[in-house]
A and B are shown apart, each in its own frame.
Chain A
Amino acid sequence: MAVKKIIGIETEYGITSRGKFATNPVSASSYLVNCYGREMFEKNTQWDFTDEQPGNDARGFLAETTLVPLIETQLINVVLQNGARFYVDHAHPEYSSPECGSPLEATLYDAVGELVLNNAMAKAKETLGTLDEIIVYKNNSDGKGNSYGCHENYLMDRHIPFGKIVDEVVGFLVTRQIFCGAGKLGCETANNDVRFQISQRADFFEEIVGLETTTKRPIVNTRDEPHSNHEKYRRLHLILGDANMSQMATFLKLGSTALVLSMIEEDSLLNGKIRVSNPVAEIKQISYDISLKHLIELEDNNKFTALDLQYVYLEAAQEFVMRGGGEFVGGDEIAKNILELWENTLDKLTKDPMSAHDTIDWVAKYRIIEAYREKHDLEWDSKTLSAIDLQYHDVRKEKSLSRMANLEKLFSENEIKNAEKEPPHSTRAYFRGKVLSRWPSNIVSANWDSIVFDLGEKSLKKVPMLDPMKGTFELVSNLIDESKTVVELLDKLES
């Protein structure tokens, strides 16, 4: 049985510094997070790591050669008033959106991440010397073989066998890049013939299934850490996506994936009929062909383009929504918007890929680079073109080339600004964000599924929030508003 798709999206931002942090991205990232956190709270609310188990494998075993992901507890972490988490992961600042009740809401909170990073940079600028500067980029590769991720999380029914999810989702995941790829100059494997490719991340995938995220990256990650009721839910952790500058591309990525996963749960997705022969090779070959003509070989020896396969998934999703499947992705209206955007985008890409420049990042970027190259008569390996590629992902308003590319928007600047302080109403993130805004000095730490309160008693009080669909605006806003103190609120919740 499908469950409502609670969605989160987390982005590791690329970071570069001038001056005192030039050689230390960890310090630069910490400085940014701290600047933002200090602005928000006198005392940062700490992240509570005690329940985290990133080494759990959804397949129920741990391969002997597997490197269990490390949790870096000593680094800076801030819980935000909108329920998000802003922290330092590896050598990057990372923003994890709050849990969202629909792909549309998750797209909004992904855009809020850019605002948070912008505000953090502005704050850092105020306090740093004139020679020091920290700048972040929302991309996934430095063009020199190093990659960092944009991960998606989808709540799923624990009863669906993990092997079934993998079997049915891989064909969708390797082909969806034609609309959610962010585009990249050149290639970071040994393939020197590639001038421009669709995806930032495709070069870095080596396995179909696995637990790792920093080496031997898998198309389907097996981290089994639901941050909720372990017997009821799984949190599918997808690490292969690109970070998108286009809100429409983010919405389509999250929306189409949420529909496909719901169909798998409901046994409505072609029962694994689309089985790609060599997904790891195909994810790269699809990325390398911007004409979208590459033929993908299936296990039954048939060959199709990525567009052909996406039309098959789209048609299955259209039937699914007609039968009421929209309820799992935030309702019929949102489902219809996803389907319409999906179909329009595939039609544009079929007719002339360049006509999707107003919504699809790789197309918008390619169009700029190709026009600039032609105008200035540049070679494909020109560093100016690489600078354009990089600066497409600059999140500063005045420097961002993606902003200049006139991409269609889903949200106004005001909506994004409001969501910086207001949590989603549809999930437990509402409770987390609101109690944090109201009683910051009573909260010692928080994580996805619990909050630790200091109520002035001898011991601290940990309040579990295992169900992501509890603690919503509908369920707790009146209680929060009516309570004068946090003690009163917790008493009311208990009774």
Chain B
Amino acid sequence: MTEREQKRKPTDSKESVDETVEETSATGSSISGQKLKAEMDDLLDEIDEVLEENAEEFVRNYVQKGGQ
């Protein structure tokens, strides 16, 4: 794609930063993936506990007068 070819290249220093980031996360990615899923499961359970009881009514009633 010509458009993409014309894309301004980010500076060299930025590219080297990117590489370092990828290397570090590649080693720990499967562990952090599992941890993330467990965290999400806990979070979703917590959300169920505090979510407004009648979601449909709650959302329908949330009507604002316009502001700035």
What is A's interface to B at a CB cutoff of 8 Å? 12, 14-16, 25, 69, 89-92, 137, 141-144, 146-149, 151, 213-214, 239, 295, 302-304, 308, 311-312, 315, 343, 347, 350-351, 367-368, 371-372, 375, 383-384, 386-388, 390-391, 398-399, 401, 404-406
Known A-B contacts A372-B47, A386-B55, A390-B58; the reply to A312 vs B64 at CB < 8 A is no
Name the one of B6, B17, B40 contacting A303, with C-beta atoms under 8 angstroms: B6
Across-interface contacts of B59 in A (CB, < 8 A) = 143, 383, 386-387, 390
Residue B34, interface by CB 8 Å: no
- Expressed in whole angstroms, the Cα–Cα distance for A295 and B62 within the complex equals 35
Across-interface contacts of B64 in A (CB, < 8 A) = 14-15, 25, 91-92, 141-142, 144, 146, 148
Asked if B62 and A149 sit within 8 Å, CB to CB, the answer is no
How many whole Å from B7's CB to the nearest CB in chain A?
A: 6
Name the one of A148, A308, A371 contacting B40, with C-beta atoms under 8 angstroms: A371
Tell me which residues from 17 to 68 in chain B have a Cβ below 8 Å from any Cβ of chain A: 17-18, 21-22, 25, 39-40, 43-44, 46-47, 50-52, 55-56, 58-68
- Expressed in whole angstroms, the Cα–Cα distance for A343 and B58 within the complex equals 39
Across-interface contacts of A148 in B (CB, < 8 A) = 64, 66-68
Q: Could you list some 22 contacts between A and B, CB below 8 A?
A: A12-B68, A69-B68, A89-B67, A92-B64, A143-B62, A148-B67, A149-B68, A308-B7, A308-B10, A311-B10, A311-B14, A347-B14, A351-B21, A368-B43, A368-B44, A368-B47, A384-B51, A387-B51, A388-B47, A390-B58, A391-B51, A404-B50
Interface SS majority for chain B: helix
Across-interface contacts of B25 in A (CB, < 8 A) = 351
How many whole Å from B50's CB to the nearest CB in chain A?
A: 6
- Expressed in whole angstroms, the Cα–Cα distance for A401 and B47 within the complex equals 7
- Expressed in whole angstroms, the Cα–Cα distance for A213 and B58 within the complex equals 28
Q: In the complex, given contacts A144-B64, A383-B55, A404-B47, what are 18 additional A-B residue pairs having Cβ atoms less than 8 angstroms apart?
A: A16-B61, A16-B62, A25-B65, A92-B67, A143-B62, A213-B68, A302-B7, A303-B3, A347-B18, A371-B43, A383-B56, A383-B60, A384-B51, A384-B55, A388-B47, A391-B51, A401-B50, A406-B39
- Expressed in whole angstroms, the Cα–Cα distance for A229 and B29 within the complex equals 55
How many whole Å from A350's CB to the nearest CB in chain B?
A: 7
How many whole Å from A437's CB to the nearest CB in chain B?
A: 29
Across-interface contacts of B39 in A (CB, < 8 A) = 406
Annotate B3-15 by CB proximity to A: 1 below 8 A, 0 otherwise: 1101110110010
- Expressed in whole angstroms, the Cα–Cα distance for A391 and B14 within the complex equals 37
Across-interface contacts of B8 in A (CB, < 8 A) = 302, 304, 308, 312
Asked if A146 and B68 sit within 8 Å, CB to CB, the answer is no
- Expressed in whole angstroms, the Cα–Cα distance for A442 and B65 within the complex equals 37
How many whole Å from B63's CB to the nearest CB in chain A?
A: 6
- Expressed in whole angstroms, the Cα–Cα distance for A92 and B46 within the complex equals 30
Asked if B66 and A147 sit within 8 Å, CB to CB, the answer is yes
- Give the number of residue pairs across the A-B interface with Cβ within 8 Å: 122
Highest count of chain A CB atoms <10 Å: which of B18, B39, B58, B59: B59
Across-interface contacts of B18 in A (CB, < 8 A) = 347, 350-351
Closest to A350 in B: B18
Across-interface contacts of B44 in A (CB, < 8 A) = 368, 371-372, 375
Across-interface contacts of A144 in B (CB, < 8 A) = 63-64
Asked if B11 and A315 sit within 8 Å, CB to CB, the answer is yes
Asked if B43 and A404 sit within 8 Å, CB to CB, the answer is yes
- Expressed in whole angstroms, the Cα–Cα distance for A91 and B67 within the complex equals 7
Across-interface contacts of B10 in A (CB, < 8 A) = 308, 311, 315
Asked if A388 and B51 sit within 8 Å, CB to CB, the answer is yes
Across-interface contacts of B58 in A (CB, < 8 A) = 387, 390
Known A-B contacts A351-B18, A371-B44, A404-B43; the reply to A14 vs B62 at CB < 8 A is yes
Asked if B63 and A146 sit within 8 Å, CB to CB, the answer is yes
- Expressed in whole angstroms, the Cα–Cα distance for A14 and B59 within the complex equals 13
Asked if B11 and A90 sit within 8 Å, CB to CB, the answer is no
Highest count of chain A CB atoms <10 Å: which of B4, B56, B60, B62: B62
How many whole Å from B20's CB to the nearest CB in chain A?
A: 10
Across-interface contacts of B40 in A (CB, < 8 A) = 367, 371
Across-interface contacts of A141 in B (CB, < 8 A) = 64
Asked if B7 and A304 sit within 8 Å, CB to CB, the answer is yes
Across-interface contacts of A16 in B (CB, < 8 A) = 61-62
Asked if A343 and B17 sit within 8 Å, CB to CB, the answer is yes
Closest to B14 in A: A311
Across-interface contacts of B68 in A (CB, < 8 A) = 12, 69, 89-90, 148-149, 151, 213-214, 239
How many whole Å from A49's CB to the nearest CB in chain B?
A: 17
Asked if B67 and A404 sit within 8 Å, CB to CB, the answer is no
- Expressed in whole angstroms, the Cα–Cα distance for A92 and B67 within the complex equals 7
Closest to A382 in B: B55
- Expressed in whole angstroms, the Cα–Cα distance for A147 and B28 within the complex equals 42
Across-interface contacts of B62 in A (CB, < 8 A) = 14, 16, 137, 142-143, 390
How many whole Å from A150's CB to the nearest CB in chain B?
A: 9
Closest to A14 in B: B64
Asked if A399 and B67 sit within 8 Å, CB to CB, the answer is no
How many whole Å from A349's CB to the nearest CB in chain B?
A: 12
